[in-house]
Amino acid sequence: MVGIQDRKLALWNVGVAYIAFIIGTFCGLLQVFVRNDALNLPTWLNYYQILTAHGVLLALIYTTFFIFAFLIAGMSKTLGGFGPKVNLFGWLGFIVTTIGTALATVMIISGKASVMYTFYAPLKASGWFYVGLALVIVGTWLSSFALIGHYIVWKKRNKGQLSPLFAYMTISTLILWIIACLGVVATVVFQYIPWAFGWVDTINVELSRSLFWYFGHPLVYFWLLPAYIAWYVVVPKILGTKVFSDSLARLSFVLFILFSIPVGFHHQLTEPGISSFWKFLQVVLTFMVIIPSLMTAFSMFATFEISGRKKGGTGLFGWFKKLPWKDVRFTSIFIAMAFFIPGGAGGIINASFQLNELVHNTLWIVGHFHITVGTPVAMTFMGITFWLIPYLTGRKFTKRLQRLAFIQVISWSVGMLLMSTAQHILGLLGAPRRTAYSGYNGNVNALEWFDGILSNHVTMAVGGTILFLSAMLLLYIVANLLFVAPKAQLNGEFEEFPIAESDKSHTPKFLENWWIWIGVAVALIIMAYALPLSHMIQHSPPGSGHHITW
Ligand code: HAS
């Protein structure tokens, strides 16, 4: 069991994560109805306001707080309880991130920041929205430094030893995060804030977008890597086996540090201000960042097969039946993985230079991120929630709650399947994203295309409603695990924090020489970004004034 302070810190992070989740999912429900013309919002509430709240609170805030809860609990479990300085930084980080979140949320809800989570210029929000975002980043850095400090103390006490796999993966995730944030910090501090407060009149739009996507793509791996930590470290324990290969797991995380950052231009393939050479280079690097995910898929299949065969599974697929399907901690994560197969394949389509022309700015992309961050990541976090909260509160994940958890993950899968399939197909047929309801000017052809069984905004709304109900059930389970479920220590049985054994005896030590990987990552970033960014600065257009369209 982690120390009392570490436990409290992790629990507060879980708490804020789920408060963001309530508001974010409610906005999602409103959105699908507006988009299918079944709901008219009151005049004081704007579609783009709820779209911004939905994106910021679910994609940025729910994930970030949950990730820190998981990493804090796991680092305390694997490296030992936190010392006073680590605790202090951890709390400071939590408080600053929460203040930033509150400030940004108030700005969105009061209608002063309907700029969506990508906050593309020249749409302009209140300066306080950007200050809120900056505080969120500063807060996460403080939390990251706390965990890195804890790791350094451990390394000093255990000279020459490789750290436990959980800690290694946490540090990789935080290195990636800190390097990635440099882009968004640069644009928010030097471009958005002076512009939004009126200290300068114009903004260099292309530069601001490029710096955003320098951050925006690794951001998706900041969400994914904690899910991968659970896949590599937690799942084998639940299956009763070891980590398939310690070196492979570590190498895949190193590859994410190297290749997840110099690829942001694949979000800007249709933008005119970047020459096709740089786009092409970053597309090639994007294909490199697919490799660690393919390694992860291989490692997962190997883990499943080894454990299934150990339990007596025979034949080509006999092991499959031996997996612990009745354990929702496993089933939830398995479904999450299964969703990532089409999710990842969609990513490869998006990253293909020519195919991107077809899908960019269509609902296809919305479908893509709902089956990447919205299910593989989010459902892994749900699967973690079911044991992490009991582990932290000492309460029991009772049989009744387990049954409800099954209903919850299955309903989430059904809702997501309907909604994201409809989004993918509608997108291919040309339905745009980032828009409210469109009647397509009554165009007969367009209305026919969007009238299929799956290619229909109604199917999307049905899926969205099921998702909302599932989210409410999840919140019921979370509230029970936090406040109501019986205390387990009465029977002396705490929920475990599942961490599988990982054989480090053949793992090369250089995998933990961070300076090598940071050095190579910086070299790749310079190669991919130095010239195009300096070109954008030196040959900058006159700059854009602002637009407030709501
Ligand atoms: Fe993406 C746009 C390319 C992964 C999230 N992406 C987005 C946006 C978001 C997002 C939020 O190149 C929208 C941003 C916006 O608002 O504009 N994406 C990729 C590529 C990958 C990828 C190449 N994306 C993710 C992940 C995300 C995420 C992960 C969130 C967590 N994405 C793009 C591109 C765009 C984009 C372009 C811009 C599009 C545009 O035009 O705007 C890769 O990382 C994917 C690699 C993954 C795989 C899958 C491996 C499978 C595994 C599961 C194994 C399963 C098992 C279970 C073991 C190759 C590991 C077995 C089960 C059975 C049933 C058999």
pLDDT digits (tens, 9 = 90+) for 54-94: 999 999 999 999 999 999 999 999 999 999 999 999 999 99
Q: Atom 61 of ligand 1 has which residue's CA nearest to it?
A: 338
Please write down the HEC assignment for all residues of 378-403: HHHHHHHHHHHHHHHHCECCCHHHHH
pLDDT at 491: 56
Instruction: For residue range 446-461, list pLDDT tens digits in order.
Output: 888 888 888 888 999 9
Does residue 135 register a pLDDT over 90? yes
Residue 488 · residue 494 · CB < 8 Å: yes
- The atom of ligand 1 lying closest to the CA of 376 is 31
Residues paired with 456 in a beta bridge: 451
- The set of residues, in sequence order, having a beta carbon less than 8 Å from that of 155 and lying 6+ positions away, is 161, 163
Using omega within 30 degrees of 0 as the cis cutoff, is the peptide bond preceding 541 cis?
no
Helix (H) or strand (E) segment spanning residue 194: helix 193-196
Report how far residue 74's alpha carbon sits from residue 83's, in angstroms, rounded to the nearest whole number.
Answer: 15
267 is known as an active-site residue: no
Residue 3: predicted pLDDT: 73
**Annotated catalytic residue within 433, 457, 497, 529:** 433
DSSP for residue 434: S
Atom of ligand 1 nearest to the CA of 300: 58
Q: How far apart are CA 135 and CA 487, in angstroms?
A: 37
Q: Helices 246-259 and 276-289, interaxial angle, to 10°?
A: 170
Which of 87-91, 119-123, 491-495 is predicted least confidently? 491-495
Binding pocket residue ranges, ligand 1, CB within 6 Å: 118, 220, 223-224, 266-267, 286, 289-290, 293-294, 296-297, 300-301, 337-338, 340-341, 344, 347-348, 350-351, 356, 360, 365, 368-369, 372-373, 377
Tell me which residue has its CA closest to atom 9 in ligand 1: 369
If pLDDT is split at 50, 70 and 90, which confidence band does 535 have?
very high
Q: Is the pLDDT of residue 1 over 60?
A: no
The least confident of 17-26, 94-103, 492-501 is: 492-501
* pLDDT value of position 489: 65
Tell how far the Cα of 419 is from the centroid of ligand 1, in angstroms. Answer: 17
Residue 208, C-beta contacts closer than 8 angstroms, at least 6 positions apart: 120, 121, 187, 191, 192
Ligand 1 centroid vs 424 CA: distance in angstroms?
14
Report CA(363)–ligand 1 centroid distance (Å). 15
pLDDT at 492 over 60: no
Q: Is 434 one of the catalytic residues?
A: yes
Distance (Å, whole) CA 439 – CA 441: 5
pLDDT at 150 over 60: yes
Structure tokens at 480: 């029970």
546 is catalytic: no
Name 432's bridge partners. 362
Is 424 one of the catalytic residues? no
Distance CA 55, CA 60 (A): 7
At 490 the pLDDT is: 53
What tokens were used for 351? 């990253």
What CA–CA distance (Å, rounded) separates 335 from 344?
14
Q: How many residues belong to the chain? A: 550
Contact 363, 306 (CB under 8 A): no
